[in-house]
Structure 1
Amino acid sequence: MRSNTARSRPLRLFLAFAAALALIGATPNVAVAAVEVQSSVAAAGTQSAVSSRQVLSAADLSQFRPGNIISNAVFYDSTTMSEAQIDAFLRTRVPNCQSGYTCLKDFRQDTVTRAADAYCGRYDGATAESAARIIQKVAAACGINPQVILATLQKEQGLVTHTWPSDWRYTIAMGQGCPDTAACDTRYYGFYNQVYGAARQFKLYGQSTYFNWYTPGKTWNVQFNPNQSCGSSPVYIENQATANLYYYTPYQPNAAALRAGYGEGDGCSSYGNRNFYNYFSDWFGSLQTRYAPIVKSASSPAMYFVTEGVKHYIPDEATLRVLMSALPTVSTVPDTYLTSLPAGRDASRYVHDARNGALYLLESDGTKHWFSSGDLIARFGYAFGDYVNLSPSHIDAYRTGDAVGDYFKAEGSVDYYVWRDNQKRYVVDDWAWAELTGSRPTYVATMKAASAAGIPLGRPVLASGILAKEQSTPNVYLTGTAADLVYVDSFDTARDAGVTRYRIYADGTLSGFTKSNVTLSPVLTCGGSVFAVAGTGIVPVNGAVPSAAAPALPESICAVLPRRGNAVSTPFFVKNPAADPVLVYSDGTLRHVRDQQTLQRLNAGRPLVFLSWSAASIARVPSGAPYLTDGSFVQFGDPDIFYVTGGTLRLVPDVETLTRLASPRWPVVERLPESFRASYTFGPAMPR
């Protein structure tokens, strides 16, 4: 962005150098050159003025209005000059160019093709295009008056009238990408890049939400000079075109600058926007047109929207903001003008295009959105016939967006709702919104606050597959694709099932949901089939599992659990990645497998697969009797000791036999619960 601050110091150095050359016998052309530098380079500088010897101004600076330097209608009229007219204009400005230099009238450059975007249409590149052709094509592509481009070229680098321009003047012809506080951005170097970049920037100012500090329809303090001690004054910015000029050159001329015409004012003067006004006025005439569509009288704060010859009272700031998003100019008009206009219904977002009968909802981003049915119109609080007829130019000023649909928000609110079953359902957060829309850019229509308040409230929209908790309650629930919730007593078990997202919501958020009487468990039933958690999701389980050990979940909950890997068959093996024991799941219990031989026997030649379970998931399943290792000793609830051999438990009849069987180690006897006895096979007692 070009801000047009001072370049007076380099200029003075150049003039001093030129004067020194003259003193030592340099040719007279050097002195002439110095004057030309003053005329052209100074035209661009905020702190520099144009030499009064260069031009006699016809511009009436007493008519300069800092809040309305140029009208939108003039600024955005790309049809004011053809290529031939631009070429003739440039040749009139500079009939003769100094030898060895290329003046703008003769300048040519290869251009590249640029695709259309939100701000400019397509530009088809070509070989050796003239300056006039580049200006005309850029103006047409970006919807900018070519006269604006010419005046900017002059006030920035003096290129329109320069008779010996250096290459550098073409390099930064429009000052685009050359802020006052940093070096120029090399991406914008070159005449074509400069003209296209500046024109596109002018369009971007009015459409990007970033540029909001000179918003039309408000009063802003605009400085007189980069030196803040020079002060500022409040300026009511009447239109987007004037805002564009301030974004590009953020200073207004003070009284001394305006009195000076093209000359110098005082130490607090700036000249960029004054010189733009001067050049445009002298070369092309008035920068204004008839009254803008949004008007107010000097005697009243009331504002009206004038379209199709009818005035419509603007009832509130929200409606004004919507209208000014595409029609940003505000005119102060005589009372007689307002009283001469017939009054229509109050202005609103609901408008009509008489050319094709389309009914639209206007938005504050300068877009219009088609109503596809009368039911939608009524839902948004409008009677079918209560629209405002817009003139073609006014309706066309709004960009066409997506049709009005089921997503909406109340005017003045940031909360999103979706229409479902004649209810409004609040979209709780970004996860829910992304799931609803598939993360695609989606239009959210603005509804009257009263209309939105009158729609019955349904249950909120939550993303599926998340762990949800209300602020004041300890319970955590897993959300599904419908209204079902399942209680979750362990974050680790949820993670084993592939659920990791967690969020706390306001109290009452979950009140409209159905809370199932089951708890998420490591083994579960979905749609009649058994599944087991596997660390990052669930896998099918083949084989018998007691129904009590695999509670059935609602289908809307099952739908959010990710499927991982191939099916396993009972008995299947489970392991905690952070611990050593291998467990086998069978008949609703987990049994510890203590040796490789037993593991291979239980696996029965299948590909060996371990399901990854957290300690919490393992703890959720009842523990069964461990598989005992041959050569070990166990006892249950009585003094009898058994020796394990070949998977069978055999009674040890006396201490001598126990010592002999354990030799050369001391015998270690494991105590097991009496309830485990039935899990083992017993054989005859060991011989003495």
Structure 2
Amino acid sequence: MKKLLAVAFLLVLLPSPLLAATFNPNNILSDHELMDYTSMGRDAIQQFLEAKKSFLAKFTAPDLNEVTMNAAQIIFNAATTARINPKYILALLQKEQSLIEHGPTNPSQSRLDWATGYAVCDGCSTDDPLPQKYKGFGKQVDGGAGANRFYFDNPGKFNFRVGVTSQVDGTAVTPENQATANQYIYTPHLHGNENLWKIWNRWWNRKYPNGVVLQAKDAPELWLIRDSMRHRFASKSIFASRHNQTEVITVEPAELQNYDEGAAIKFSNYSLVKSERGMTFLLVDETKRPFLSDKIFRQFGYHPDEVLTATDDELNEYKNGRFISEADIYPLGAVVKSPVSGELYYVHNGEKAPVVSEAIIKNNFRKQKVLTISADELQSFKLVKALKFRDGSLVKATEDPAVYVISDGMKRPIPSEATFLGMGWKWGNVQTVDRLSLMIHPTGSKIELNQVN
């Protein structure tokens, strides 16, 4: 197997603010990312090409066996045969010839004939006789995928190896995994491999909205995305006090690294905790409410054995709430009904938030009885904005196919089925609600599968 090098076609890359981490030449892709050959079906590949407005979306060509078919089918077949991730093949086509985005609307035949740079070495001409048997879009896609499978299965045949340091463009590179070693065998240059890394991260490392719960493959930890950071649930019981297991989205470990790690979530909802200074708080959702005195703490029927110890840093993650006093009838919050109008409110922390539907009650509280209280008692609470769906909720209006994810109190449109499934959401988690329940949420920016922001 001859040493295969990349063609010197460079693409213009857009800025990528999501990638807080800088390019690590020792770890370009994980082995799983390169080998996950079932990550996209033929239809998903076609939808991706169409979404990118790629020339390849309507392009047909002979495959390896001279059977004419569309580009998506050629890519899918090569991925399946070589057991190489079709996402990698798409990224390779972009890295080598800009055939997916930001390239010419009508690429030259030469770009198509040498689509993956397979069998073309530095300083070689595509007119040389030796690479002619690899000329053609179908053969190039098959060659690029097949070469990566061969490198992976025969690591001892090549100079670039896991754990072995080599000089690449004057920089010492020590591949941390075989997928990274593969890239230097294919393209022994830093710039080309950094381009591949940028493309991969721009396309495939998704940006999740606040309120989503993520879990890395084959890892037990659960993470809440909040304030664009990842917060680990200290235990499954703490997670279960706030979320359902069906809400969890499984992602690649590398995707979690796109988020800085924030403080762990160490307390279940409605926990009693004591600060370093000896003050006792009741934690309700994202708010900490201090008890006015130990006497009031006991009056509510709580026992000191129920109180957990919390550091000041842990408590700083919670917003400050009002003191719990003798007059505080509903320290845990309650859904109440007006005896006059029948309107519903959520009362907590001295405030009343209108509740426009039972769907919002069910979304926020698993078991919450509606209490009817007097008009005078209801009047004593300060009126605030209406209660909204929990962040991370998937909702749609009756008789309207549009689906939204709630994030930061806004409804963010999910523009397509491909985006919905690509983000890892499940149709069974979508709640159908009345239009008024949606209208109280301002419309935010749409979710984009390949968005980098």
TM-score of the alignment, normalized to the shorter chain, above 0.5:
no
* Greater RCO (Cα-Cα under 8 Å, separation 6 or more): 2
Q: If the length of structure 2 is used for normalisation, what is the TM-score? A: 0.42
Q: If the length of structure 1 is used for normalisation, what is the TM-score? A: 0.28
Which structure: larger Rg? 1
